[in-house]
């Protein structure tokens, strides 16, 4: 199938498919006689895998490793679990950082009167070292 059909079936845009080929995440598709990319069901399945992994926030490097493990039927599942566990820890740290930002901004907005006066604790905080 051509790239447009592969994109439709996988839910990955044609632009991203080209990008994934360019960076080596996806093997370049074979070319038909007319030089169009020719995708098969296996490649579409890999694109779905990539889309799902991206939706879960895995990095390109993590996805490359997960794809390699997925393709290797003799893989130890502990390697997959280690990648997922590290990703969960990273997500939790990012959530904690974001919650700290929310808390600080909520405090600042409570301190701001939001009236016609020029005094603004939000701007004062942003300007402080």
Neighbouring C-beta atoms of residue 17, cutoff 10 Å: 24
pLDDT tens by residue, 50-59:
999 999 999 9
Query: Whole-angstrom Cα distance, residue 125 to residue 69?
Result: 48
Query: Whole-angstrom Cα distance, residue 121 to residue 21?
Result: 49
Number of H helices and E strands in the chain, helices first, is 6, 2
- Residue 38's pLDDT band, with cuts at 50, 70 and 90, is confident
Q: Can you give the pTM of this predicted structure?
A: 0.80
Query: Whole-angstrom Cα distance, residue 41 to residue 111?
Result: 58
pLDDT tens by residue, 5-33:
999 999 999 999 999 999 999 988 777 67
Q: Which residue in the block uniquely carries the two structure tokens 């199938």? A: 1
């Amino acid at each position: 199938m051509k790239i447009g059909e592969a994109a439709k079936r996988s839910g990955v845009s044609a632009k991203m498919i080209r990008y994934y080929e360019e960076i080596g995440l996806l093997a370049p598709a074979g070319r038909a006689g007319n030089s169009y990319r020719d995708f098969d069901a296996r490649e579409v399945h890999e694109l779905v895998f990539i889309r799902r992994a991206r939706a879960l926030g895995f990095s390109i490097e993590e996805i490359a490793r997960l794809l390699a493990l997925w393709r290797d039927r003799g893989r130890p599942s502990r390697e997959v679990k280690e990648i997922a566990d590290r990703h969960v820890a990273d997500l939790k740290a990012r959530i904690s950082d974001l919650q700290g930002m929310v808390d600080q901004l909520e405090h600042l907005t409570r301190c701001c009167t939001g009236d016609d006066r020029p005094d603004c604790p939000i701007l004062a905080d942003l300007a402080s070292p």
